[in-house]
Amino acid sequence: MTDAASPALAADPLAADEPRLTSLAHGGGCGCKIAPALLAQILRGARGLPVPPQLLVGIETGDDAAVWQLNDQQAIVATTDFFMPIVDDPVDFGRIAATNAISDVYAMGATPIFALALVGMPINRLSATTIGRILDGGAQACAAAGIPIAGGHSIDSVEPIYGLVALGVVDPAQLRRNAGARPGDVLVLGKPLGVGIYSAALKQGALDDAGYGQMIATTTRLNTPGPELAALPGVHAMTDVTGFGLAGHALEMARGSGCRLAIDWSAVPLLDQARELAEGGFITGASGRNQASLGDGAGFADHLSDIDRALACDPQTSGGLLVACAADSVAAVLALLDRHGFDAAAVIGRVVGGEPGVDLA
């Protein structure tokens, strides 16, 4: 069905009397994701099916997208992502949700080709005008990525939900997974952390205009360097840091690669107000669930405070790429990220041998 393909909806004069979008949702952005430990428990009970050889990437390592090989030069990358509002402005909500979904395609080293819209809205609470603005925001993000929204599906739901099915194409030789890191690699993070903390502050009216502007800037920045990074021979693995936080997605990379990741916490970039807001108590419930899900897979140095641990597990919506690359490729990786506008990108650690896991020190 393609009933959500067009944002052309009739204007509603009652739009000004509507509730805040975030007030209609029990969670927001990628903080809505099921905790990693519970998700693993759910999937363990899923029925296994034969895996055809054309399926290059499935659910094995919790990667960013599925990949199906068409021929020697082409593979289709398919992913989907959707969530409840992280902000109250409907256009911004649509832009953030669409950017987040498309970035999973970039994280595989692929080029997006088109998207389908996923729309669930409480039609008795939100006007057609507001819903249309959410869809328009998604269309803006897709236009920035150079792709059309070719269809979709919509339902009447209790909470507002928006997202995309995003599809891309990649040469299998340039496919990058979260499972290719090698001992000796250097870790580079493309965006600063703190989106979950900012969203918690926003929901309680404690985020100022500067903070909101920084939050929108980072969450609507497409991870466009992905395909070019994948073309660099020294880039061995990539993933985007989203709902499981830096520690959670780093642990997925470590386990998938059979390596240990050592993260220098002092080098990890943060949004300007992230630490101050976290110290003020603006920490999401998802952060605690993420930390609990790490189990014994992650070790925190004794000098790291509870705030540091919360920041490391803070759920990121439309977060940055985490890249594992050879040491002699670091300069090229940083230069490429900088050319695309990721001026906060930083070297945050390295890949070492040993039992798969993550050490933060």
Catalytic residues, by residue number, are 30
CA dist., res. 327 & res. 40, Å (int): 33
CA dist., res. 232 & res. 342, Å (int): 18
Residues 6+ apart with CB under 8 A from 191: 218, 221, 241, 269, 316, 319, 320, 321, 342, 344, 345
User: In whole angstroms, how far apart are CA 347 and each of 17, 107, 192, 229, 265?
Assistant: 47, 18, 12, 15, 11
Instruction: Please choose, from the candidates 243, 101, 97, 99, the residue with its C-alpha nearest in 3D space to the C-alpha of residue 161.
Output: 97
Instruction: Please choose, from the candidates 289, 286, 291, 285, the residue with its C-alpha nearest in 3D space to the C-alpha of residue 306.
Output: 291
Contact of 311 with 197, CB cutoff 8 Å:
yes
Q: Which tokens go with 350?
A: 């390295």
Q: Are strands 321-325 and 161-170 parallel, antiparallel or unpaired?
A: unpaired
Q: Which tokens go with 208?
A: 């100022």
